[in-house]
A and B are shown apart, each in its own frame.
Chain A
Amino acid sequence: MFTLFSTPNWFNGYDLLFAAVNLVIALLIAGYSWKIYRINKENKFTYFSFAFILIALANIFKLITQGLIYYTPWRAVATRVVGPVVGMAQAGVNYSDLFFRTGFFLSMITMLGAWLLIYFVSQKKSGRLKSYYETSQIGLFIYLIGLISLVSNFKYSVFYLTSTVILGITVLNYYKNYLNTDKNRNAFKVMWSFVLLLIGNIAFIFVFIFESLYAVGEIFTLLGFLLLLYTHHKVTHK
């Protein structure tokens, strides 16, 4: 059986619940950003919406991949479906590694893509590159996140290290935004959401030392998304 890293058995299932909550929150924010784009036609709202759709997709891939690892009935169903398609009697056993690697790869690449897009969008206009350079830089970053996601299948900490760096710079951007908006309370909450997400990612890096840090990481990630939801609610129900 393919192993990316070990997680505490007592936490199995809870991380899927957290991923489901994060998925719903990401879709809510993506939906409202898309609604704003439809009104004012500014591309940054599309990018922001797309970033949160990527987060939602990352959580979907995580739900499917880890759900199949945790729950034997799900694995049995998947084997019955996949077996005839790949044409092998032992499909569930022979292709399990490929399946799980693909699942984790898709989860990582979408999540990294989301963090990168949020980082680009959170920069102030003067920090954003002009269109030609922007396109070439984005092309380079897409290549790099693809490569990092592939490597992360063999060394998971590469993914969390990269996420940590991107989230760290994003936190700085949101801190600048908080100052630029005359210390807007909602901007402060968004900054802290990303701080919580950053702490979660840092915890994931050290799972190889202490397995329970996986639960810590998941809890901080959930708290980050819940704070984003709270901010979204405060803004849209004013």
Chain B
Amino acid sequence: MATRRSRLELIFDILLAIQNKGGTIKPTHLMYKSNLSHKLLNNYLDELVMKELVFIQDIIGKKKQKSTKAIVLTDKGLSFLAEFRRMREFTDAFGL
């Protein structure tokens, strides 16, 4: 049975999903990639936007030419990803 992810791990998974999509992702795709419910994802997104790890951008859809929202990873978000990877490496190396 999979263990429950901590708050920081959830934030890492969200940011990693955005990074893996080239730095920009639609909310629905993010929900599936990060394996979170709509409500929970919105709660975390509000926090991430407030901490300037991501920002919400309006983009024009390719097919329907309609305005839609996308979540974009900031430089601060990239730094957080790098730092979290270092922390995880330290934790694994020292058996913490």
Contacts and interface: CB of A to CB of B under 8 A. Distances in A.
Interface of A: 32-33, 36, 39-40, 44-45, 48, 121-122, 124, 173-174, 177, 181, 184, 186-187, 189-190, 231-232, 235-236, 238
B4 to A, nearest CB: 13
Given A32-B90, A174-B95, A186-B89, 9 more contacts: A36-B90, A121-B95, A173-B95, A177-B92, A181-B92, A187-B95, A189-B93, A235-B86, A238-B86
Given A39-B8, A40-B6, A190 B87 contact: no
Contacts of A190: 93-95
Nearest to B9: A40
Contacts of A39: 8, 87
A190 B95 CA distance: 9
B86 A121 contact: no
B28 to A, nearest CB: 29
B20 interface: no
A113 B6 CA distance: 30
A238 B89 contact: yes
B interface: dominant SS: helix
Contacts of A177: 92, 95
A interface: dominant SS: helix
A39 B79 CA distance: 14
Given A39-B87, A40-B6, A40-B8, A235 B95 contact: no
Contacts of A40: 6, 8, 87
Given A40-B6, A238-B85, A187 B96 contact: no
B43 interface: no
Interface string B54-96: 0000000000000000000000000000100111011111111
Contacts of A45: 96
Interface in B19-67: none
